[in-house]
């Protein structure tokens, strides 16, 4: 079953506070502004600031569709930036950033995560992709969606402010077949939710697996790493990986392993265990098989940070989520507020299909055919306690 083609009416009906209203009215306190963010390949890059009037502010660059900042209130009502990013385009184009490749806050495509041996066969044709992660293909290749300049349209709806981003990935780009028209919509609601909606169509059979690569540190500077964050993931299984982080065998039960987050556990509680299951990737960098199975908007994970009192709930229509604990950050990069991003200074919960699905017919399919619409939704809901 291809779980990408979902019931949009069912999504609208899920009660997580996501506004499905039309119209062009908005609260007086909700606003969107635009500023110049630099130039890339002769194209102007803008950055948009979305504010919901409830203390949540979101900043998005048209370069890579990247979330550069996300400010939310703590338990005292003081807003702080909870994502990793840079104050200008220079940070995203620096030699250090491009070499290390952390993809801060960027839209990822055509294929989020890894494809083994940088190739797949589709419709009887073998397609060769860039091997940009050892022998494997990672996050769309050398020039993935994270390095594209997206077209932007401001969006105002009842109780929602948003930004619509569009990009045409041409046939053969990074080795993928088909002209892929992509639309990603960011919505910030009055209920302190960030909703990301992904849509895509193709004129040729292809693979499509989109996600966002935001790094979170809910302490907003109160802690230099995320090891004290309490995480729960609604997954009974995960995909074990080889040294190249390509899934091996069938999904494995989390019971009795460091991957059991069915009840809240701190990220750092078991991350340094001398355990073979954690050595590949240097810690957590694994796909969790969500119990929901994908297809309907469902709770996937919850994170609580005790110093700030912030809580983040993650809802998605995807069948998997990649939990990455920032193992490869090394302090080289300095971001917003002159914060140095050391090892495990941020974590990712990348909602997506499973790694290497194009070479694994037993995984939920990522094939997209002409006449079909790729559709995926993820919601991050913020609160305090």
Is residue 213 part of the annotated active site? The answer reads yes
| Window from 10-24, 124-138, 174-188, 285-299 with minimum mean pLDDT | 10-24
Cα angle 89-93-95, degrees, rounded to a multiple of 5: 145
Tell me what the mean pLDDT of segment 11-37 comes to: 56
* Per-residue pLDDT, 21: 32
* Per-residue pLDDT, 276: 76
Measure the CA dihedral 152/153/154/159, to 10°.
-110
**How would residue 2 be classed by pLDDT, with cut points 50, 70 and 90?**
very low
DSSP 297: -
Residue 22 has pLDDT above 90, yes or no: no
* Per-residue pLDDT, 305: 98
Span 184-201, pLDDT tens digits: 999 999 999 999 999 999
* Per-residue pLDDT, 277: 81
Q: Which of 305, 350, 367, 377 is catalytic?
A: 350
Tell me what the mean pLDDT of segment 203-231 comes to: 97
* Per-residue pLDDT, 8: 38
Contacts (Cβ under 8 Å, ≥6 apart) of 170: 179
Question: Closest Cα to residue 259, out of 292, 312, 301?
Answer: 301
* Per-residue pLDDT, 219: 98
Residue 54 has pLDDT above 60, yes or no: yes
Q: Which of 213, 229, 286, 353 is catalytic?
A: 213
Residue 134 has pLDDT above 90, yes or no: yes
Span 92-119, pLDDT tens digits: 999 999 999 999 999 999 999 999 999 9
Question: Closest Cα to residue 234, out of 293, 281, 296?
Answer: 293
* Per-residue pLDDT, 29: 86
Is residue 286 part of the annotated active site? The answer reads no
| Window from 82-86, 92-96, 154-158, 174-178 with minimum mean pLDDT | 154-158
Residue 4 has pLDDT above 80, yes or no: no
* Per-residue pLDDT, 10: 38
Q: Using CB atoms within 10 A of its CB, is residue 223 exposed (0-12), middle (13-18) or buried (19+)?
A: middle
* Per-residue pLDDT, 153: 98
Percent of the chain past pLDDT 90, that is, above it, reads 89
Residue 11 has pLDDT above 60, yes or no: no
**How would residue 335 be classed by pLDDT, with cut points 50, 70 and 90?**
very high
Q: How far apart are CA 228 and CA 222, in angstroms?
A: 11
**How would residue 281 be classed by pLDDT, with cut points 50, 70 and 90?**
confident
Span 291-313, pLDDT tens digits: 999 999 999 999 999 999 999 99
* Per-residue pLDDT, 273: 62
**How would residue 25 be classed by pLDDT, with cut points 50, 70 and 90?**
very low
In Å, what is the CA distance from 207 to each residue of 104, 119, 140? 23, 12, 11
Percent of the chain past pLDDT 70, that is, above it, reads 92
Would you tell me which CATH number, out of the four given (2.60.40.10, 2.70.98.10, 1.20.200.10, 2.60.40.1080), belongs to the domain 8-384? 2.70.98.10
| Window from 229-243, 261-275, 293-307 with minimum mean pLDDT | 261-275
Residue 24 has pLDDT above 90, yes or no: no
**How would residue 28 be classed by pLDDT, with cut points 50, 70 and 90?**
low
In Å, what is the CA distance from 311 to each residue of 74, 78, 160, 196, 210? 9, 14, 21, 18, 25
pTM recorded for the entire structure: 0.92
């Amino acid at each position: 079953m291809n779980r990408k083609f979902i019931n949009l009416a069912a999504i609208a009906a899920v009660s997580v506070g996501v506004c499905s209203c039309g119209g062009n009215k908005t609260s007086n306190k909700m606003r969107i502004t635009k500023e110049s963010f630099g130039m890339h390949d002769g194209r102007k890059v803008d950055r948009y600031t979305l504010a919901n009037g409830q203390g949540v502010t979101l900043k998005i660059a048209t370069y890579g569709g990247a979330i550069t900042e996300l400010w939310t209130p703590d338990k005292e009502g003081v807003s702080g930036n909870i994502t990793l990013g840079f104050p200008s385009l220079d940070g995203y184009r620096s030699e250090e950033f491009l070499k290390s490749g952390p993809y801060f806050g960027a839209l990822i495509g055509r294929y989020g995560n890894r494809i083994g041996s940088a190739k797949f066969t589709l419709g009887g044709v073998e397609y060769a992709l860039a091997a940009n992660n050892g022998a494997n293909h990672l996050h769309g290749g050398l020039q993935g969606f994270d390095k594209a300049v997206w077209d932007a349209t401001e969006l105002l709806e009842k109780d929602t402010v948003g930004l619509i981003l569009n990009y045409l990935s041409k046939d053969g780009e990074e080795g993928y077949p088909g002209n892929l028209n992509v639309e990603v919509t960011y919505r910030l609601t009055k209920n302190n939710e960030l909703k990301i909606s992904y849509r895509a169509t193709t004129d040729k059979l292809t693979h499509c697996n989109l996600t966002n690569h935001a790094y979170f540190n809910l302490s907003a500077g109160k802690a230099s790493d995320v090891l004290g964050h309490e995480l729960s993931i609604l997954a009974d299984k995960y995909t074990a990986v080889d040294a190249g982080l390509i899934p091996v065998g069938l999904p494995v039960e989390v019971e009795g392993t460091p991957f059991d987050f069915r009840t809240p556990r701190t990220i750092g509680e078991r991350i340094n265990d001398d355990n073979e299951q954690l050595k590949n990737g240097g810690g957590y960098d694994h796909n969790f098989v969500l119990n929901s199975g994908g297809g309907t908007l469902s709770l996937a994970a919850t994170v609580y940070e005790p110093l700030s009192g912030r809580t983040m709930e993650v809802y998605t229509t995807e069948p998997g989520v990649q939990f990455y604990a920032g193992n490869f950050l090394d302090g080289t990069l300095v971001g917003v507020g002159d914060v140095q991003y050391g090892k495990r200074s941020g974590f990712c919960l990348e909602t997506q299909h499973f790694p290497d699905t194009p070479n694994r017919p037993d995984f939920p399919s990522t094939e997209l055919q002409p006449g079909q619409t790729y559709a995926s939704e993820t919601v991050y809901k913020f609160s305090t306690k």
